[in-house]
Amino acid sequence: MPCCKGQVLTYNGRQVCLHCVVLLALALGAQALTPSHHLSPADLDRLKAFLNQPFTDLESAYYSIVGLSKLGIAVSDEHAACQFLKSQLDPSNIDSLFFASEASQALSGCQIPLSNETRDLLLAAVSEDSTMSQIHRSVSTLSSLGLPVASQEVVSALTTRITKEDNVLAIILALQTASRLSQQAELGGILEEIEDLAARLDDLGGIYLQFEEGLEATAHFVTAAYALSDHVDIEPPLKEDQVVQLVNSVFSKKSWDSLSEAFSVASAAAAFSGNRFHIPVVVTSQGPAAVSHRQPMLQLQVTDILSQPLPSISVQVESAHAVASKSVVLSQAPFTLRDGIFELNFMDSQPASGYYQFAVAVTGDSRLVANHVEMKVKVSTEVAINNMDLSVVDKDQSIGTKTTRVEYPSKAKTSFTADSHQNFAMSFQLVDVNTGVELTPHQTFVRLHNQKTGQEVVFVAEPDSKNVYKFELDTAERKSEFDSISGTYALYLIVGDATLENPILWNVADVVLKFLDEEIPSVIQPKNLYVPKPEIKHLFRDPEKKPPTVVSNTFTALVLSPLLLLFILWIKLGANISNFSFTPSCILFHLGHAAMLGLMYVYWTQLNMFQTLKYLAIIGSLTFLAGNRMLAQKAVKRYRPGC
Tell me which of 188, 555, 583, 618 binds other proteins, using CB under 8 A: 555
Closer residue to other proteins, CB minimum distance, 182 or 633: 633
Q: 639, exposed or middle or buried, with CB in 10 Å at 0-12, 13-18, 19+?
A: exposed
Alpha carbon distance 266, 305 (integer Å)? 11
- In this structure, the strands spanning 422-432 and 468-474 are antiparallel
Burial 548-581 (b: 16+ CB within 10 A, else e): eeeeeeeeeeeeeeeeeeeeeeeeeeeeeeeeee
- Min dist CB 549 to other proteins, Å, is 12
Please state, in angstroms and as integers, the Cα–Cα distance from residue 543 to each residue in 317, 539, 540, following that order: 84, 12, 9
Tell me which of 28, 550, 558, 643 binds other proteins, using CB under 8 A: 558
- Min dist CB 558 to other proteins, Å, is 6
- Min dist CB 519 to other proteins, Å, is 59
Cβ-contact 489, 448 below 8 angstroms: yes
Please state, in angstroms and as integers, the Cα–Cα distance from residue 281 to each residue in 70, 224, 363, 412, following that order: 19, 21, 10, 58
Cβ-contact 270, 251 below 8 angstroms: no
Closer residue to other proteins, CB minimum distance, 204 or 568: 568
- Min dist CB 576 to other proteins, Å, is 10
Binding range to other proteins, per CB under 8 A, among 140-148, 187-195, 397-405, 561-569 = 561-569
Give the x/- contact pattern for other proteins in 582-621, rule: CB under 8 A. Answer: -----------x--xx--xx-xx----x--x---x---x-
Q: Is 580 in the site for other proteins (CB under 8 A)?
A: no
Tell me which of 24, 551, 617, 618 binds other proteins, using CB under 8 A: 551
By C-alpha distance, which of 367, 409, 363, 414 is closest to 388? 409
Alpha carbon distance 174, 191 (integer Å)? 10
Alpha carbon distance 333, 293 (integer Å)? 19
In the three-class reduction of DSSP (H, G, I as helix; E, B as strand; rest coil), residue 330 is classed as strand
Alpha carbon distance 422, 270 (integer Å)? 77
- Min dist CB 538 to other proteins, Å, is 23
Number of shown-chain residues binding other proteins (CB under 8 A): 36
Closer residue to other proteins, CB minimum distance, 582 or 601: 601
Tell me which of 14, 413, 546, 640 binds other proteins, using CB under 8 A: 546
Tell me which of 30, 529, 559, 577 binds other proteins, using CB under 8 A: 559
**Is cis: bond before 409, omega within 30 of 0?**
yes
- Min dist CB 562 to other proteins, Å, is 4
Q: Is 573 in the site for other proteins (CB under 8 A)?
A: yes
CA angle at 250 for the pair 142 and 29, rounded to the nearest 5°: 125
- Min dist CB 612 to other proteins, Å, is 7
- Min dist CB 545 to other proteins, Å, is 8
- Min dist CB 581 to other proteins, Å, is 14
Binding range to other proteins, per CB under 8 A, among 58-66, 86-94, 419-427, 550-558 = 550-558
DSSP 441: -
Residues 364-393 binding other proteins (CB under 8 A) are: none
Q: In residues, how long is the chain?
A: 643
Q: What is the CA radius of gyration of the chain?
A: 49
Closer residue to other proteins, CB minimum distance, 74 or 551: 551
Q: Is 569 in the site for other proteins (CB under 8 A)?
A: yes
Give the x/- contact pattern for other proteins in 515-544, rule: CB under 8 A. Answer: -----------------------------x
Binding range to other proteins, per CB under 8 A, among 284-292, 437-445, 458-466, 622-630 = 622-630
Closer residue to other proteins, CB minimum distance, 49 or 569: 569
Burial 64-90 (b: 16+ CB within 10 A, else e): bbbbbbbbeeebeeeeebbebbeeebe
What does 251-283 look like in DSSP terms, one character per residue?
HS--S-SSHHHHHHHHHHHHHHHH-SS-EE-EE
Closer residue to other proteins, CB minimum distance, 188 or 598: 598
All residues at 6 or more sequence positions from 207 whose CB lies less than 8 Å from its CB, including other chains: 33, 36, 245, 248
Binding range to other proteins, per CB under 8 A, among 52-60, 418-426, 494-502, 556-564 = 556-564
Closer residue to other proteins, CB minimum distance, 512 or 607: 607
Cβ-contact 4, 20 below 8 angstroms: yes
- Min dist CB 599 to other proteins, Å, is 9
Give the H or E element holding residue 491: strand 487-496
Closer residue to other proteins, CB minimum distance, 338 or 637: 637
- Min dist CB 563 to other proteins, Å, is 7
Give the x/- contact pattern for other proteins in 124-163, rule: CB under 8 A. Answer: ----------------------------------------
Alpha carbon distance 114, 21 (integer Å)? 57
Cβ-contact 511, 424 below 8 angstroms: yes
Closer residue to other proteins, CB minimum distance, 119 or 590: 590
Tell me which of 16, 323, 570, 621 binds other proteins, using CB under 8 A: 570
Please state, in angstroms and as integers, the Cα–Cα distance from residue 143 to each residue in 98, 113, 140, following that order: 10, 15, 5
Closer residue to other proteins, CB minimum distance, 121 or 596: 596
Binding range to other proteins, per CB under 8 A, among 62-70, 379-387, 457-465, 568-576 = 568-576
Count of CB atoms situated within 10 Å of the CB of 167: 12
Tell me which of 276, 452, 470, 634 binds other proteins, using CB under 8 A: 634
Closer residue to other proteins, CB minimum distance, 536 or 557: 557
- Min dist CB 527 to other proteins, Å, is 50
Applying CB under 8 A, the residues found at the interface with other proteins are: 544-547, 551-552, 555, 558-559, 562-563, 565-566, 569-570, 573-575, 593, 596-597, 600-601, 603-604, 609, 612, 616, 620, 624, 627-628, 631-632, 634-635
